Structure 1
Amino acid sequence: MIFAVILAGGTGSRMGSTDMPKQFLEIKGKPILNHTIEKFLPNPQFEKIIVLSPKAWIGHTKELVRKHTGKNDKIAVIEGGATRNETIMNAINYIDREYGLDDDTVIVTHDSVRPFVTHRIIDENIKTALSCGACDTVIPATDTIVEGDGDAITAIPDRRRMYQGQTPQSFKAKLLRDSYNSLTDDEKEILTDAAKILVMKGIKVKLVQGETFNIKITYPYDLKIARSLLDEETE
Protein backbone atom coordinates (compact mmCIF):
# COMPACT_ATOMS: atom_id res chain seq x y z
CA MET A 1 0.00 0.00 0.00
CA ILE A 2 1.04 3.58 -0.68
CA PHE A 3 0.20 6.58 1.48
CA ALA A 4 0.66 10.32 1.02
CA VAL A 5 1.86 12.04 4.21
CA ILE A 6 1.29 15.81 4.14
CA LEU A 7 3.38 17.50 6.83
CA ALA A 8 1.30 20.41 8.12
CA GLY A 9 2.52 20.31 11.71
CA GLY A 10 4.64 23.48 11.71
CA THR A 11 3.73 26.90 13.06
CA GLY A 12 5.41 28.96 10.33
CA SER A 13 7.34 31.33 12.60
CA ARG A 14 9.47 32.63 9.72
CA MET A 15 6.41 34.00 7.92
CA GLY A 16 6.39 36.99 10.27
CA SER A 17 3.29 38.70 11.66
CA THR A 18 0.51 36.20 11.10
CA ASP A 19 -1.86 34.70 13.66
CA MET A 20 -2.01 31.29 12.02
CA PRO A 21 0.41 28.69 10.66
CA LYS A 22 1.52 29.48 7.11
CA GLN A 23 -0.11 26.37 5.62
CA PHE A 24 -3.51 27.95 6.35
CA LEU A 25 -2.78 31.26 4.63
CA GLU A 26 -4.87 31.76 1.51
CA ILE A 27 -3.62 32.17 -2.04
CA LYS A 28 -6.20 32.80 -4.75
CA GLY A 29 -9.03 32.17 -2.31
CA LYS A 30 -7.79 28.82 -1.03
CA PRO A 31 -5.41 27.80 1.80
CA ILE A 32 -1.93 26.71 0.72
CA LEU A 33 -2.58 23.34 2.36
CA ASN A 34 -5.55 22.67 0.12
CA HIS A 35 -3.64 23.58 -3.02
CA THR A 36 -1.10 20.95 -1.94
CA ILE A 37 -3.65 18.26 -1.12
CA GLU A 38 -5.18 18.70 -4.57
CA LYS A 39 -1.91 17.60 -6.18
CA PHE A 40 -2.19 14.21 -4.46
CA LEU A 41 -5.93 13.54 -4.68
CA PRO A 42 -6.04 12.53 -8.39
CA ASN A 43 -3.37 9.84 -7.97
CA PRO A 44 -5.14 6.45 -7.75
CA GLN A 45 -2.09 4.78 -6.18
CA PHE A 46 -2.71 6.35 -2.76
CA GLU A 47 -4.67 4.31 -0.24
CA LYS A 48 -4.99 7.38 1.99
CA ILE A 49 -3.79 10.97 2.18
CA ILE A 50 -2.74 11.62 5.78
CA VAL A 51 -2.56 15.28 6.86
CA LEU A 52 -0.63 15.93 10.07
CA SER A 53 -1.67 19.09 11.88
CA PRO A 54 -0.70 20.91 15.07
CA LYS A 55 -2.98 19.67 17.86
CA ALA A 56 -4.62 23.06 18.35
CA TRP A 57 -5.44 23.29 14.63
CA ILE A 58 -6.84 19.81 13.95
CA GLY A 59 -10.46 21.00 13.97
CA HIS A 60 -9.60 23.88 11.65
CA THR A 61 -7.72 21.55 9.31
CA LYS A 62 -10.64 19.12 9.14
CA GLU A 63 -12.99 21.99 8.33
CA LEU A 64 -10.73 23.23 5.51
CA VAL A 65 -10.57 19.73 4.05
CA ARG A 66 -14.37 19.43 4.21
CA LYS A 67 -14.92 22.88 2.73
CA HIS A 68 -12.59 22.46 -0.24
CA THR A 69 -12.84 18.73 -0.99
CA GLY A 70 -16.22 17.80 0.41
CA LYS A 71 -16.74 14.62 2.43
CA ASN A 72 -13.69 12.69 1.29
CA ASP A 73 -12.91 9.36 2.92
CA LYS A 74 -9.52 9.32 1.22
CA ILE A 75 -8.21 12.07 3.55
CA ALA A 76 -7.40 11.63 7.24
CA VAL A 77 -6.33 14.47 9.57
CA ILE A 78 -4.27 13.45 12.60
CA GLU A 79 -1.99 15.10 15.15
CA GLY A 80 1.62 15.86 14.27
CA GLY A 81 4.59 15.51 16.59
CA ALA A 82 7.01 17.88 18.29
CA THR A 83 9.52 17.52 15.43
CA ARG A 84 9.33 16.75 11.73
CA ASN A 85 10.48 13.19 12.20
CA GLU A 86 8.17 12.56 15.14
CA THR A 87 5.35 13.79 12.90
CA ILE A 88 6.32 11.24 10.25
CA MET A 89 6.47 8.52 12.91
CA ASN A 90 2.92 9.48 13.99
CA ALA A 91 1.81 8.89 10.40
CA ILE A 92 3.56 5.51 10.22
CA ASN A 93 2.04 4.43 13.55
CA TYR A 94 -1.40 5.47 12.27
CA ILE A 95 -0.90 3.35 9.15
CA ASP A 96 0.25 0.42 11.28
CA ARG A 97 -2.85 0.66 13.50
CA GLU A 98 -5.37 1.12 10.70
CA TYR A 99 -3.89 -0.99 7.89
CA GLY A 100 -0.86 -2.86 9.15
CA LEU A 101 2.68 -2.43 7.84
CA ASP A 102 4.51 -4.78 5.55
CA ASP A 103 7.94 -4.48 3.96
CA ASP A 104 6.51 -2.80 0.85
CA THR A 105 4.30 -0.17 2.49
CA VAL A 106 5.42 3.19 1.06
CA ILE A 107 4.94 6.70 2.39
CA VAL A 108 5.37 9.79 0.21
CA THR A 109 6.12 12.62 2.67
CA HIS A 110 5.61 16.18 1.48
CA ASP A 111 5.70 19.70 2.90
CA SER A 112 2.20 21.16 3.12
CA VAL A 113 3.62 24.47 1.89
CA ARG A 114 5.01 23.10 -1.41
CA PRO A 115 1.84 23.40 -3.50
CA PHE A 116 3.59 23.22 -6.89
CA VAL A 117 4.75 19.60 -6.78
CA THR A 118 4.00 17.88 -10.08
CA HIS A 119 2.32 14.58 -10.86
CA ARG A 120 5.58 13.48 -12.52
CA ILE A 121 7.55 14.06 -9.30
CA ILE A 122 4.97 12.18 -7.22
CA ASP A 123 4.91 9.22 -9.61
CA GLU A 124 8.71 9.02 -9.75
CA ASN A 125 8.88 9.09 -5.94
CA ILE A 126 6.47 6.17 -5.70
CA LYS A 127 8.29 4.15 -8.35
CA THR A 128 11.73 4.79 -6.84
CA ALA A 129 10.69 4.10 -3.24
CA LEU A 130 9.07 0.81 -4.28
CA SER A 131 12.16 -0.34 -6.16
CA CYS A 132 14.95 1.13 -3.99
CA GLY A 133 13.45 1.70 -0.54
CA ALA A 134 14.05 5.44 -0.23
CA CYS A 135 14.38 8.58 -2.35
CA ASP A 136 14.72 12.33 -2.01
CA THR A 137 13.59 15.00 -4.48
CA VAL A 138 16.38 17.44 -5.37
CA ILE A 139 17.51 20.02 -7.89
CA PRO A 140 21.16 20.72 -8.76
CA ALA A 141 22.73 23.61 -6.86
CA THR A 142 23.17 26.62 -9.14
CA ASP A 143 25.12 28.81 -6.72
CA THR A 144 28.52 28.04 -5.23
CA ILE A 145 28.05 26.40 -1.82
CA VAL A 146 30.26 27.86 0.91
CA GLU A 147 30.87 26.08 4.20
CA GLY A 148 31.81 28.30 7.11
CA ASP A 149 32.24 28.44 10.87
CA GLY A 150 30.31 31.66 11.37
CA ASP A 151 32.77 34.31 10.22
CA ALA A 152 35.14 32.54 7.81
CA ILE A 153 35.06 30.01 4.97
CA THR A 154 36.14 26.51 5.95
CA ALA A 155 35.43 24.76 2.62
CA ILE A 156 33.93 25.25 -0.83
CA PRO A 157 32.53 21.90 -2.00
CA ASP A 158 32.42 20.90 -5.66
CA ARG A 159 29.13 22.36 -6.88
CA ARG A 160 28.69 19.50 -9.35
CA ARG A 161 28.06 17.21 -6.37
CA MET A 162 25.74 19.60 -4.51
CA TYR A 163 21.94 19.58 -4.62
CA GLN A 164 19.11 21.52 -3.02
CA GLY A 165 16.70 19.27 -1.20
CA GLN A 166 12.98 19.52 -1.81
CA THR A 167 10.08 17.20 -1.08
CA PRO A 168 8.57 14.66 -1.52
CA GLN A 169 10.87 12.33 0.35
CA SER A 170 9.57 8.79 0.03
CA PHE A 171 10.35 5.62 1.94
CA LYS A 172 9.36 2.10 2.70
CA ALA A 173 7.67 2.92 5.99
CA LYS A 174 8.89 -0.04 8.03
CA LEU A 175 12.49 0.56 6.92
CA LEU A 176 12.28 4.21 7.99
CA ARG A 177 10.66 3.49 11.36
CA ASP A 178 13.07 0.70 12.24
CA SER A 179 16.03 2.90 11.29
CA TYR A 180 14.71 5.84 13.32
CA ASN A 181 14.09 3.68 16.38
CA SER A 182 17.66 2.36 16.20
CA LEU A 183 19.17 5.86 16.55
CA THR A 184 20.41 7.19 19.86
CA ASP A 185 18.81 10.28 21.40
CA ASP A 186 21.92 12.27 20.48
CA GLU A 187 21.67 11.12 16.85
CA LYS A 188 18.00 12.09 16.73
CA GLU A 189 18.92 15.57 17.98
CA ILE A 190 21.02 16.35 14.89
CA LEU A 191 18.46 15.20 12.33
CA THR A 192 17.31 17.82 9.84
CA ASP A 193 15.05 15.65 7.71
CA ALA A 194 13.90 12.08 7.26
CA ALA A 195 16.37 11.15 4.53
CA LYS A 196 19.24 11.75 6.95
CA ILE A 197 17.91 8.93 9.15
CA LEU A 198 18.79 6.39 6.47
CA VAL A 199 22.01 8.13 5.43
CA MET A 200 23.21 7.88 9.04
CA LYS A 201 22.50 4.14 8.95
CA GLY A 202 24.44 3.70 5.71
CA ILE A 203 21.31 3.02 3.62
CA LYS A 204 21.27 4.38 0.06
CA VAL A 205 18.75 7.14 -0.70
CA LYS A 206 18.17 7.60 -4.42
CA LEU A 207 17.73 11.03 -6.03
CA VAL A 208 14.60 12.10 -7.92
CA GLN A 209 14.79 15.17 -10.14
CA GLY A 210 12.69 18.03 -8.75
CA GLU A 211 11.68 21.33 -10.33
CA THR A 212 12.87 24.86 -9.62
CA PHE A 213 9.26 25.97 -9.19
CA ASN A 214 8.58 23.31 -6.53
CA ILE A 215 9.17 26.01 -3.94
CA LYS A 216 8.55 25.93 -0.21
CA ILE A 217 6.51 28.92 0.95
CA THR A 218 8.48 30.07 3.99
CA TYR A 219 8.81 33.85 3.90
CA PRO A 220 6.36 36.65 2.94
CA TYR A 221 8.21 37.13 -0.38
CA ASP A 222 7.45 33.50 -1.26
CA LEU A 223 3.74 34.31 -1.21
CA LYS A 224 4.25 36.77 -4.07
CA ILE A 225 6.07 34.11 -6.10
CA ALA A 226 3.34 31.58 -5.33
CA ARG A 227 0.60 33.92 -6.53
CA SER A 228 2.47 34.43 -9.80
CA LEU A 229 2.92 30.68 -10.27
CA LEU A 230 -0.78 30.07 -9.63
CA ASP A 231 -1.61 32.73 -12.21
CA GLU A 232 0.46 30.79 -14.74
CA GLU A 233 -1.29 27.51 -13.82
CA THR A 234 -4.70 29.03 -14.49
CA GLU A 235 -3.83 30.73 -17.77
Structure 2
Amino acid sequence: MEKTNVYGVVLAGGKGTRMGNVEKPKQFMEVGGKPIIIHTLEKFVVNPQFERVIVLSPKQWITYTQDIIKKYILLSDKIDVIEGGATRNDTIMNAISHIEKFYGLDEETIIVTHDSVRPFVTHRILEDNIHYAKEYGACDTVIPATDTIVESMDNQKISNIPDRSKMYQGQTPQSFHAKRLREVFDELSEEEKTILTDACKILVLKGDAIHLVEGEVFNIKITYPYDLRVAESILGGNGVC
Protein backbone atom coordinates (compact mmCIF):
# COMPACT_ATOMS: atom_id res chain seq x y z
CA MET A 1 0.00 0.00 0.00
CA GLU A 2 1.32 3.43 -0.93
CA LYS A 3 1.99 5.89 1.87
CA THR A 4 -0.57 8.70 2.21
CA ASN A 5 1.15 12.06 2.38
CA VAL A 6 -0.23 14.27 5.15
CA TYR A 7 0.48 17.99 5.44
CA GLY A 8 -0.25 20.39 8.26
CA VAL A 9 -1.65 23.72 7.05
CA VAL A 10 -1.47 26.37 9.78
CA LEU A 11 -3.46 29.49 8.99
CA ALA A 12 -1.70 32.57 10.33
CA GLY A 13 -3.05 35.20 7.97
CA GLY A 14 -5.21 37.13 10.44
CA LYS A 15 -4.49 40.68 11.55
CA GLY A 16 -6.05 40.25 15.00
CA THR A 17 -8.19 43.40 14.90
CA ARG A 18 -10.52 42.09 17.63
CA MET A 19 -7.57 41.92 20.02
CA GLY A 20 -7.61 45.72 20.15
CA ASN A 21 -4.84 48.17 19.48
CA VAL A 22 -1.86 45.82 19.30
CA GLU A 23 1.37 46.27 17.39
CA LYS A 24 1.46 42.85 15.77
CA PRO A 25 -1.00 40.12 14.72
CA LYS A 26 -2.37 38.04 17.59
CA GLN A 27 -0.56 34.86 16.51
CA PHE A 28 2.72 36.55 17.51
CA MET A 29 1.57 37.64 20.96
CA GLU A 30 3.13 35.65 23.78
CA VAL A 31 1.53 33.24 26.21
CA GLY A 32 3.63 31.14 28.54
CA GLY A 33 6.78 32.91 27.36
CA LYS A 34 6.39 31.99 23.66
CA PRO A 35 4.42 33.33 20.70
CA ILE A 36 1.00 31.67 20.36
CA ILE A 37 1.87 30.32 16.90
CA ILE A 38 4.91 28.51 18.31
CA HIS A 39 2.79 26.56 20.79
CA THR A 40 0.57 25.55 17.86
CA LEU A 41 3.38 24.55 15.53
CA GLU A 42 5.06 22.44 18.20
CA LYS A 43 2.02 20.14 18.21
CA PHE A 44 2.39 19.56 14.47
CA VAL A 45 6.15 19.15 14.08
CA VAL A 46 6.46 16.46 16.76
CA ASN A 47 3.85 14.31 15.00
CA PRO A 48 5.67 12.00 12.58
CA GLN A 49 2.59 11.62 10.36
CA PHE A 50 3.09 15.12 8.93
CA GLU A 51 5.31 15.19 5.86
CA ARG A 52 5.61 18.99 6.08
CA VAL A 53 3.90 21.84 7.89
CA ILE A 54 2.89 24.80 5.74
CA VAL A 55 2.39 28.14 7.52
CA LEU A 56 0.37 30.80 5.70
CA SER A 57 1.33 34.31 6.79
CA PRO A 58 0.62 37.91 5.76
CA LYS A 59 3.31 38.88 3.24
CA GLN A 60 4.87 41.54 5.48
CA TRP A 61 5.20 39.05 8.36
CA ILE A 62 6.79 36.12 6.47
CA THR A 63 10.38 36.91 7.48
CA TYR A 64 9.36 37.54 11.09
CA THR A 65 7.49 34.22 11.16
CA GLN A 66 10.52 32.40 9.74
CA ASP A 67 12.78 34.03 12.34
CA ILE A 68 10.71 33.05 15.38
CA ILE A 69 10.27 29.50 14.06
CA LYS A 70 14.08 29.15 13.80
CA LYS A 71 14.43 30.61 17.29
CA TYR A 72 11.96 28.36 19.07
CA ILE A 73 11.50 25.14 17.07
CA LEU A 74 14.22 22.51 16.69
CA LEU A 75 12.53 20.86 13.71
CA SER A 76 12.19 24.16 11.86
CA ASP A 77 13.39 22.57 8.59
CA LYS A 78 10.06 20.69 8.49
CA ILE A 79 8.15 23.99 8.14
CA ASP A 80 7.53 26.14 5.05
CA VAL A 81 6.29 29.72 5.49
CA ILE A 82 4.42 31.15 2.50
CA GLU A 83 2.04 33.99 1.76
CA GLY A 84 -1.63 33.64 2.60
CA GLY A 85 -4.52 34.72 0.40
CA ALA A 86 -7.19 37.40 0.57
CA THR A 87 -9.65 35.06 2.33
CA ARG A 88 -9.38 31.96 4.49
CA ASN A 89 -10.23 29.66 1.61
CA ASP A 90 -7.88 31.45 -0.80
CA THR A 91 -5.18 30.88 1.82
CA ILE A 92 -5.92 27.14 1.92
CA MET A 93 -5.80 27.02 -1.89
CA ASN A 94 -2.37 28.71 -1.75
CA ALA A 95 -1.20 25.90 0.52
CA ILE A 96 -2.52 23.22 -1.82
CA SER A 97 -0.78 24.88 -4.80
CA HIS A 98 2.47 25.04 -2.82
CA ILE A 99 2.24 21.34 -1.92
CA GLU A 100 1.52 20.42 -5.55
CA LYS A 101 4.43 22.50 -6.87
CA PHE A 102 7.11 21.35 -4.44
CA TYR A 103 6.02 17.94 -3.13
CA GLY A 104 3.40 16.59 -5.51
CA LEU A 105 -0.32 16.09 -5.12
CA ASP A 106 -2.37 12.95 -5.66
CA GLU A 107 -5.92 11.79 -4.91
CA GLU A 108 -4.95 10.64 -1.40
CA THR A 109 -2.99 13.69 -0.23
CA ILE A 110 -4.40 14.91 3.10
CA ILE A 111 -4.27 18.44 4.51
CA VAL A 112 -4.99 19.16 8.17
CA THR A 113 -5.92 22.85 8.34
CA HIS A 114 -5.72 24.61 11.70
CA ASP A 115 -5.93 28.10 13.16
CA SER A 116 -2.53 29.34 14.32
CA VAL A 117 -4.26 30.85 17.37
CA ARG A 118 -5.63 27.53 18.66
CA PRO A 119 -2.49 26.47 20.55
CA PHE A 120 -4.14 23.78 22.68
CA VAL A 121 -4.94 21.28 19.95
CA THR A 122 -4.03 17.82 21.23
CA HIS A 123 -2.20 14.86 19.75
CA ARG A 124 -5.47 12.91 19.91
CA ILE A 125 -7.38 15.54 17.91
CA LEU A 126 -4.67 15.63 15.22
CA GLU A 127 -4.58 11.83 15.02
CA ASP A 128 -8.37 11.62 14.75
CA ASN A 129 -8.38 14.23 11.98
CA ILE A 130 -5.81 12.31 9.97
CA HIS A 131 -7.67 9.02 10.50
CA TYR A 132 -11.11 10.32 9.51
CA ALA A 133 -9.83 12.40 6.59
CA LYS A 134 -8.23 9.25 5.18
CA GLU A 135 -11.39 7.21 5.78
CA TYR A 136 -14.11 9.68 4.78
CA GLY A 137 -12.34 12.34 2.71
CA ALA A 138 -13.20 15.23 5.03
CA CYS A 139 -13.74 15.90 8.73
CA ASP A 140 -14.39 18.81 11.07
CA THR A 141 -13.48 19.18 14.75
CA VAL A 142 -16.49 20.15 16.88
CA ILE A 143 -17.84 20.20 20.42
CA PRO A 144 -21.52 19.85 21.38
CA ALA A 145 -23.29 23.19 21.84
CA THR A 146 -23.84 23.84 25.55
CA ASP A 147 -25.97 26.97 25.12
CA THR A 148 -29.29 27.11 23.32
CA ILE A 149 -28.78 28.33 19.75
CA VAL A 150 -31.15 31.06 18.60
CA GLU A 151 -31.61 31.83 14.90
CA SER A 152 -32.71 35.27 13.69
CA MET A 153 -33.16 35.88 9.97
CA ASP A 154 -33.41 39.68 10.37
CA ASN A 155 -31.03 40.03 13.35
CA GLN A 156 -33.87 41.52 15.38
CA LYS A 157 -36.41 38.78 16.13
CA ILE A 158 -36.13 35.06 16.82
CA SER A 159 -36.89 33.01 13.70
CA ASN A 160 -36.09 29.57 15.06
CA ILE A 161 -34.63 27.74 18.05
CA PRO A 162 -32.99 24.55 16.75
CA ASP A 163 -32.77 21.36 18.79
CA ARG A 164 -29.60 21.87 20.82
CA SER A 165 -28.84 18.14 20.85
CA LYS A 166 -28.10 18.38 17.13
CA MET A 167 -26.06 21.60 17.33
CA TYR A 168 -22.27 21.75 17.52
CA GLN A 169 -19.67 24.49 17.79
CA GLY A 170 -17.01 24.30 15.11
CA GLN A 171 -13.32 24.34 15.99
CA THR A 172 -10.28 23.37 13.96
CA PRO A 173 -8.57 21.29 12.61
CA GLN A 174 -10.61 20.73 9.49
CA SER A 175 -9.07 18.07 7.30
CA PHE A 176 -9.54 17.07 3.68
CA HIS A 177 -8.36 15.21 0.64
CA ALA A 178 -6.62 18.25 -0.81
CA LYS A 179 -7.30 17.54 -4.46
CA ARG A 180 -11.04 17.05 -3.93
CA LEU A 181 -11.31 20.25 -1.89
CA ARG A 182 -9.65 22.28 -4.64
CA GLU A 183 -11.76 20.71 -7.38
CA VAL A 184 -15.00 21.57 -5.57
CA PHE A 185 -13.79 25.09 -4.72
CA ASP A 186 -12.97 25.74 -8.38
CA GLU A 187 -16.49 24.63 -9.36
CA LEU A 188 -18.20 27.14 -7.06
CA SER A 189 -19.75 30.29 -8.48
CA GLU A 190 -18.52 33.67 -7.25
CA GLU A 191 -21.85 34.05 -5.44
CA GLU A 192 -21.34 30.74 -3.62
CA LYS A 193 -17.81 31.78 -2.65
CA THR A 194 -19.13 34.95 -0.97
CA ILE A 195 -21.14 32.92 1.57
CA LEU A 196 -18.29 30.64 2.60
CA THR A 197 -17.37 30.93 6.27
CA ASP A 198 -14.94 28.03 6.38
CA ALA A 199 -13.49 25.28 4.24
CA CYS A 200 -16.04 22.64 5.25
CA LYS A 201 -18.81 24.70 3.71
CA ILE A 202 -17.12 24.30 0.31
CA LEU A 203 -17.94 20.59 0.43
CA VAL A 204 -21.28 20.98 2.22
CA LEU A 205 -22.52 23.12 -0.66
CA LYS A 206 -21.86 20.22 -3.03
CA GLY A 207 -23.30 17.51 -0.77
CA ASP A 208 -20.05 15.84 0.30
CA ALA A 209 -20.14 14.02 3.65
CA ILE A 210 -18.00 15.50 6.41
CA HIS A 211 -17.28 13.36 9.46
CA LEU A 212 -17.35 14.89 12.96
CA VAL A 213 -14.25 14.71 15.14
CA GLU A 214 -14.66 15.29 18.87
CA GLY A 215 -12.87 18.46 19.93
CA GLU A 216 -12.08 19.76 23.40
CA VAL A 217 -13.56 22.68 25.34
CA PHE A 218 -10.03 23.98 25.97
CA ASN A 219 -9.17 23.95 22.25
CA ILE A 220 -9.94 27.67 22.25
CA LYS A 221 -9.28 30.25 19.59
CA ILE A 222 -7.41 33.21 21.06
CA THR A 223 -9.34 36.17 19.67
CA TYR A 224 -9.92 38.70 22.46
CA PRO A 225 -7.74 40.02 25.32
CA TYR A 226 -9.77 37.86 27.74
CA ASP A 227 -8.68 34.76 25.78
CA LEU A 228 -5.04 35.55 26.53
CA ARG A 229 -5.78 35.36 30.26
CA VAL A 230 -7.62 32.06 29.77
CA ALA A 231 -4.67 30.71 27.75
CA GLU A 232 -2.18 31.67 30.47
CA SER A 233 -4.40 29.91 33.00
CA ILE A 234 -4.54 26.73 30.89
CA LEU A 235 -0.76 26.73 30.47
CA GLY A 236 -0.29 27.34 34.18
CA GLY A 237 -2.35 24.28 34.96
CA ASN A 238 -0.39 22.08 32.53
CA GLY A 239 -3.65 20.36 31.73
CA VAL A 240 -3.20 19.99 27.97
CA CYS A 241 -1.31 17.21 26.19
| TM-score by shorter chain over 0.5 | yes
- Residues 16-64 of structure 1: CA deviation (Å, up to 9, x unaligned): 1101100000112100000000111111010001111000100100001
Residue 215 of structure 1 corresponds to: 220
What is the root-mean-square deviation in Å for CA atoms of aligned residues?
A: 1.1
Residues 132 and 139 of structure 2 are in contact (CA less than 8 Å); yes or no, is this contact kept in structure 1? Answer: yes
Residue 17 of structure 2 corresponds to: 13
Residue 127 of structure 1 corresponds to: 131
Work out whether 1:204 is the aligned partner of 2:205.
no
- Unaligned runs of at least 5 residues, structure 1: none
- Unaligned runs of at least 5 residues, structure 2: none
Q: Distance in 2 between matches of 1:143 and 1:35?
A: 29
TM-superposed deviation, 1:72: 2.3
1:184 to 185, 189, 194: 189
Work out whether 1:165 is the aligned partner of 2:176.
no
- Residues 175-233 of structure 1: CA deviation (Å, up to 9, x unaligned): 10001000001100110000000000100000000000000000000000000001111
TM-superposed deviation, 1:135: 0.1
- What SS class does the counterpart of residue 15 from structure 2 fall into? coil
Q: Distance in 1 between matches of 2:203 and 2:74?
A: 37
Residue 174 of structure 1 corresponds to: 179
Q: Distance in 1 between matches of 2:24 and 2:114?
A: 20
Structure 1 runs of 4+ aligned residues shifted over 4 Å read none
1:150-161 residue pairs with structure 2 within 5 A? Answer: 150-161=155-166
- What SS class does the counterpart of residue 147 from structure 1 fall into? coil
- Normalised by the size of structure 1, how large is the TM-score? 0.98
TM-superposed deviation, 1:234: 7.5
Residues 45 and 75 of structure 2 are in contact (CA less than 8 Å); yes or no, is this contact kept in structure 1? Answer: no
> Residues 40 and 192 (structure 1 numbering): CA distance in 2 closer, same or farther, change over 3 Å?
same
TM-superposed deviation, 1:70: 4.1
Q: Distance in 2 between matches of 1:112 and 1:234?
A: 20
Work out whether 1:195 is the aligned partner of 2:200.
yes
- What SS class does the counterpart of residue 118 from structure 2 fall into? coil
- Residues 111-158 of structure 1: CA deviation (Å, up to 9, x unaligned): 000000000000000000001000000000000000012111010000
Tell me the amino acid that sits aligned with residue 83 of structure 1.
T
Residues 110 and 134 of structure 2 are in contact (CA less than 8 Å); yes or no, is this contact kept in structure 1? Answer: yes
Q: Distance in 1 between matches of 2:77 and 2:125?
A: 24
- Normalised by the size of structure 2, how large is the TM-score? 0.96
Residues 151 and 158 of structure 2 are in contact (CA less than 8 Å); yes or no, is this contact kept in structure 1? Answer: yes
Residue 145 of structure 1 corresponds to: 149
Query: Percent of pairs identical after alignment?
Result: 63
Q: Aligned residue pairs: how many?
A: 235
Q: Distance in 2 between matches of 1:70 and 1:215?
A: 25
